[in-house]
């Protein structure tokens, strides 16, 4: 397609087709976008191509043809590889294209990334998200964004297609990631607290389903209690988000505060609980499996399949 | 009134007219009950009498004339004084009357209390509550109850008048208090986590109102974050529930688990945070004042009054 007659709708690519990225690519398709994708696992990208997208063998090839490149990878190291690795996107994106960074990263690192890309004429949005796999697939994420007006001017319709709410938190990178850090602190502590509280109640002899019913209608409720303790009730630890994600994210929360000498007693304690779970071999299970660190608790088993 | 022609509606008394008890007494009046009350502060009971209730100078006098006595005092020691202190209720309640215990107490202590009252022919409901001052006044509490069917048979309409939801968790005392302990663990940890997260975000330079807006629409939300951080935004630490209540309640949570050698890392950490706040002179402020333990955070000030 010739730049001269570029349509109003930006050309969009998605890098990273994990549970979140795949849902986001699909919700962009559902919104009418033609979506190019790349993933380190070629078979995953090929699967999306069979749904009607276009798979690219390298990030660079994908980047060369888009106005907006959405990065949905696990951490800062992977973002770095996407942009600056072999055949990376930073040298292939056209001047004025936008890289939308959706990972949970250190806010200072995100701010520096904006400057590194500016040297190449590439615009940047600091755009972590919240909402989980189901909302990603429905195009109903909450996005915590900040960046320059010029970046929003290009990427806005893409953000809108993936999200029910796009918060604009500032005119440069940093605030988006700062708010995501605050959210992950709460999310991690709430999952660990839900596990601690449910374990205590079950140990005391209260049926797990009664605990769930009462707490979800009381002042002790949280979004995470309601969502994750349903997995415990079902005895289903299939990872939607894994224990090791919170080992990483709470580690990032703590690292972000340490240079400021800012104490985070609850985040530190919850981090230890996820480390204990991961060290016990539960790292790849659903994050609600942190409840298994508590001793002598008879947890609900998996529901029998009908036969 | 002669027991022979006792109406279907039980005669009810409320002991303890703090913020919760006064709201509950009022919601009973609103439901059409004639309500007798007693409080250690005679002027508070007299104030309720001016609204149309009846004030009694002693618990014993109040207890002698009721079918259901609702105890809304601070802790187990006060419950003990109400029942077994000078001119206490235990010897004055008629056989078959019900004592409804709404305080947060050790579950084992509550179970033992049921037996002590049974020796006097008095029925008992283990009936802690959740919902806060506004819901108490609206008759919309959540009650976490357990006890004998005979006790429910008498007290049921009284519970219904005070609550939007009455959970029945077992046929003897104990489970009600166990679930309340689980709720208080979560409530205390969530308030402290909300404070820790907001303090981190504000320290990082994100405006407090933006943090509140994003988090209350994200997976990091909790009932307590939404409720208590509104006080921080308003700069208003007028105590609805004080820091010292969670010094007490999280202490009770920890004490209840220690005999079982059950570890509660997050409850222990949050307890230390409330102790630090109380030790710094904040014990009588709203529990959201636990945010003041974090160093170098410029919290929102009180809103200027119009004039």
Query: Which of chain A's residues have a Cβ under 8 Å away from the Cβ of B262?
Result: 199-200, 203, 294-296
Contact B203, A260 (CB under 8 A): yes
Question: Cβ–Cβ of B266/A265 closer than 8 Å?
Answer: no
| Structure confidence at residue A133 (pLDDT) | 86
**Set of chain B residues whose Cβ sits within 8 Å of the Cβ of A187:** 219-220
CB-CB neighbours of A213 under 10 Å: 16
pLDDT tens digit at each of 307 positions of chain B? 444 444 578 999 999 999 899 999 999 999 999 999 999 999 999 999 999 999 999 999 999 999 999 999 999 999 999 999 999 999 999 999 999 999 999 999 999 999 999 999 999 999 999 988 889 999 999 999 999 999 999 999 999 999 999 999 999 999 999 999 999 999 999 999 999 999 999 999 999 999 999 999 999 999 999 999 999 999 999 998 899 999 999 999 999 999 999 999 999 999 999 999 999 999 999 999 999 999 999 999 998 765 4
CA atoms lying within 13 Å on the CB side of residue A229: 27
Q: Do B222 and A218 touch (CB under 8 A)?
A: no
Q: What is the DSSP letter of B222?
A: B
**B20 touching A (Cβ < 8 Å):** no
Give yes or no for A209 touching B (CB within 8 A).
no
Q: Do B206 and A179 touch (CB under 8 A)?
A: yes
pLDDT of residue B303: 81
Cα–Cα distance list, B200 to A101, A143, B76, B264 (Å): 22, 20, 37, 24
Q: Are A213 and A165 in contact (CB under 8 A)?
A: no
Does A166 contact chain B (CB < 8 Å)? no
Q: What is the pLDDT of residue A234?
A: 98
Q: Is A180 a catalytic residue?
A: yes
What pLDDT is stored for residue B250 in this prediction?
98
CB B214 within 8 A of CB A183: yes
Could you tell me how many helices (H) and strands (E) chain B has, helices first?
Answer: 12, 9
**Most B CBs within 10 Å: which of A230, A252, A265, A274, as the mutation test of the B interface?**
A265
Which residues from A are below 8 Å from B132, CB to CB? 219
Collect all residues of chain B within an 8 Å Cβ-Cβ radius of residue A260. Answer: 203
Interface of A with B in 54-113 (CB under 8 A): 107
Question: B259 and chain A: CB distance < 8 Å anywhere?
Answer: no
- Option in B131, B220, B272 nearest A265 (CB): B272
List, for residues A22-62, the tens digit of each pLDDT value: 999 999 999 999 999 999 999 999 999 999 999 999 999 99
DSSP strand pairing (B141-147 vs A54-55) = unpaired
d(CA A17, CA A23): 8
Catalytic positions of B are 180
Output the pLDDT for position A108: 96
The Cα–Cα gap between B163 and B141 comes to 4
pLDDT single digits (tens) A231-264: 999 999 999 889 999 999 999 999 999 999 999 9
What integer best gives the mean pLDDT of chain A? Answer: 95
Mean pLDDT of A278-307: 92
Q: How far is B183 from chain A (nearest CA, A)?
A: 5
Nearest-neighbour CA in chain A from B57: distance (Å) = 34
What ipTM was reported for this prediction? 0.93
SS (H, E, C) B142-166: EEEEEECHHHHHHHHHHHHHHEEEE
Distance from CA of A187 to the nearest CA of B (A): 5
Residue of A nearest to B184 (CA): A220
Q: Quick one: what percent of chain A has pLDDT higher than 70?
A: 97
| pLDDT at residue A306 in the model | 58
Interchain pair A183, B218: CB under 8 A: yes
- Residues B141, B270, A295, A270: what is their CA dihedral angle, to the nearest 10 degrees? 110
Question: Is B200 touching A (CB cutoff 8 A)?
Answer: yes
| B276 Cβ under 8 Å from any chain A Cβ | no
- Radius of gyration over every alpha carbon of chain A, rounded to an integer in angstroms: 21
Contact flag B186-A294 (C-beta cutoff 8 Å): no
Cα nearest neighbour of A183 on chain B: B220
B225 in contact with A at a CB cutoff of 8 Å? Answer: yes
Distance (Å) from the C-alpha of residue B171 to the closest C-alpha of chain A? 13
Across the interface, whether the CB atoms of B197 and A179 are under 8 A apart is answered no
The structural domains of chain A, ordered by start, are: 3-173 (3.40.50.720), 178-293 (1.10.1040.10)
B200–A185 C-beta distance less than 8 A: yes
pLDDT digits (tens, 9 = 90+) for A124-136: 999 999 988 889 9
Per-residue pLDDT at A179: 98
d(CA A83, CA A99): 9
Q: Which of B190, B213, B225 sits opposite A193 (nearest CB)?
A: B190
């Amino acid at each position: 397609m010739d730049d001269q007659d570029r349509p109003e709708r930006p050309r969009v690519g998605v890098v990273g087709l994990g549970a979140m990225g795949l849902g986001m690519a699909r919700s962009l398709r559902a919104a009418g976008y033609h979506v190019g994708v790349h993933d380190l696992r070629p078979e995953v990208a090929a699967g999306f191509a069979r749904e009607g997208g276009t798979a690219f063998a390298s990030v660079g090839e994908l980047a060369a043809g888009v106005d907006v490149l959405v990065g949905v990878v696990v951490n800062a190291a992977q973002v770095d590889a996407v942009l600056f690795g072999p055949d990376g996107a930073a040298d292939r994106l056209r001047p004025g294209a936008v890289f939308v960074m959706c990972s949970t990263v250190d806010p200072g690192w995100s701010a520096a990334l904006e400057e590194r890309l500016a040297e190449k004429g590439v615009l940047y949005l600091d755009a972590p998200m919240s909402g989980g796999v189901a909302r990603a697939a429905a195009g109903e994420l909450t996005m915590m964004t900040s960046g320059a007006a010029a970046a929003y001017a290009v990427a806005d319709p893409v953000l809108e297609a993936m999200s029910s709410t796009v918060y604009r938190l500032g005119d440069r990178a940093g605030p988006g990631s700062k708010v995501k850090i605050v959210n992950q602190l709460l999310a991690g502590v709430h999952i660990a607290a839900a596990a601690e509280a449910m374990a205590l109640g079950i140990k005391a002899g209260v049926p797990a389903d009664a605990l769930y019913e009462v707490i979800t209608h009381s002042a002790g409720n949280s979004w995470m209690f309601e969502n994750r303790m349903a997995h415990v009730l079902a005895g289903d630890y299939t990872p939607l988000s894994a224990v090791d994600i919170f080992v990483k994210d709470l580690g990032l929360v703590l690292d972000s505060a340490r240079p400021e000498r800012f104490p985070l007693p609850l985040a530190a304690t919850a981090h230890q609980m996820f480390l204990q779970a991961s060290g016990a071999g539960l790292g790849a299970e659903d994050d609600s499996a942190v409840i298994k660190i508590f001793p002598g608790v008879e947890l609900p088993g998996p529901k029998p399949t009908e036969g």
